[in-house]
Amino acid sequence: MNQAKTLGQFIIEKQADLPYAKGELSRLLRDIGIAAKIVNREVNKAGLMDILGHANAVNIQGEEQQKLDVFANEQFISALTSGGECCIVASEENEDIIYLNSPSGGNAKYIVAIDPLDGSSNIDVNVAVGSIFSIYRKIDINAPAGLADVCQKGSAQVAAGYVIYGSSTMLVYTTGKGVNGVTLDPSIGEFCLSHPNMQIPVEGRIYSINEGNYVHFPQGVKRFIKYCQEEDTASDRPYISRYIGSMVADLHRNLIKGGIFIYPVTANAPSGKLRLVYECNPMAFIIEQAGGRATDGKQRILDIEVSQLHQRSPIFIGSKNMVITAENFMQSENELVKEVSIPEQPVLDYTYFPD
């Protein structure tokens, strides 16, 4: 039996797909992998050490922080600082961007946006949680790094991924050339290639939404839920309702089995609840690269202009045909969504970066 390729080996093998990166992006992904291993170690100690429960603090979102939120945030920032390839970190847990290694980020070329521990409220009850990351390149290497470098549209991402801490620990990522998954082998302490060229089924039978908020949903979402629940043998309905409450866990399942994840606007969250920079954009990039679709109900997530660091957005994401059907329920009958091809990842001009 051939030994599985490690994450490092696989990235080096795929280096030709990223001729402009010259190894920096590979090292950046390695640094993220190191932080994920440390967070995984602590997650697996939950219940044995004093790492469960509240940290007696709230983040910029006004949400009560868990102890593991704080720990995971510190670990990712520390790993990215030590690696030296990142000039700015933007975290869901921090009000402002964080410059690494110098007040302007130094000569590093990359920006990382992170949700250090998605679904952390589930950690006390031993439910899968995750980390989400998004990577951009500086807009202009000759200018100081700043907020504009973080607030690029999702279509400008050069890489994105998530780590799921579940029955096994898995890192799923894209660099705009498809989606690959690596699983942590605890016997050697390395992520090894386990799911090459991941593809989400075009059709699915799972819908993931917090139906406890049903009365606050738009009418289009209510109609779509009823559609999912109706019996129709021709379209293999009723569908299956599955909702974990951790975006990483819900989307990981749907990526493998096929399905749709919806977090719409509600009466209490008229702009949506999930963060565009830290959650929606990276997950949309991954799902699109796996053959799926991600919109806010009207437009492609990756085309949304980013005006604020902690901007929120509704999201409809998953199997392409399921998302189109949900979008159609959000439109009037004479404004049905047409199937459109997802634009290819743009070929960007990086000639101003020195060798």
| 121 assigned ligand-binding residue | yes
Question: How far apart are the C-alpha atoms of 94 and 152, rounded to whole Å?
Answer: 18
Helix (H) or strand (E) holding 207: strand 206-208
Q: Which residue has the tokens 């500086």?
A: 138
Helix (H) or strand (E) holding 30: helix 24-43
What is the three-class DSSP state of 192? strand
Q: Is 273 annotated among the ligand-binding residues?
A: yes
What does the chain come to in residues?
A: 355
Tell whether 243 is in a known binding site. Answer: yes
Rounded-to-integer distance, Cα 276 and Cα 304, Å: 9
Check whether 124 is labelled as a binding-site residue: no
Residue 49 DSSP label: B
* Lookup: tokens for 99: 């410059």
Q: Per the omega criterion (within 30 degrees of 0), is the bond before 201 cis?
A: no
What does each C-alpha distance from 50 to 176, 313, 340 come to in angstroms?
40, 34, 50
355 annotated ligand-binding residue: no
Task: Give the count of alpha carbons within 13 A of 257, CB side only.
Answer: 17
Amino acid at 348: L
14 annotated as a binding-site residue: no
Residue 92 assigned ligand-binding role: yes
Q: Provide CB contacts within 8 A for 65, sequence distance 6+.
A: 54, 55, 57, 58, 59, 93
Task: Tell me whether residue 101 is annotated as binding.
Answer: no
CB 315 within 8 A of CB 276: no
The answer on whether 119 is annotated among ligand-binding residues is yes
SS3 90: strand
Contact predicate 331/220, CB 8 Å: yes
Tokens coding 337: 């969504």
**120 marked among binding-site residues:** yes
CA atoms of 141 and 120, how far apart (whole Å): 36
Assigned token pair, 248: 């990483």
115 in a labelled binding site: yes
Annotated binding site for substrate: 118-121, 210, 243, 273
Q: Which residues are annotated as a binding site for Mg(2+)?
A: 92, 115, 117-118, 279
Residues making up the binding site:
92, 115, 117-121, 210, 243, 273, 279
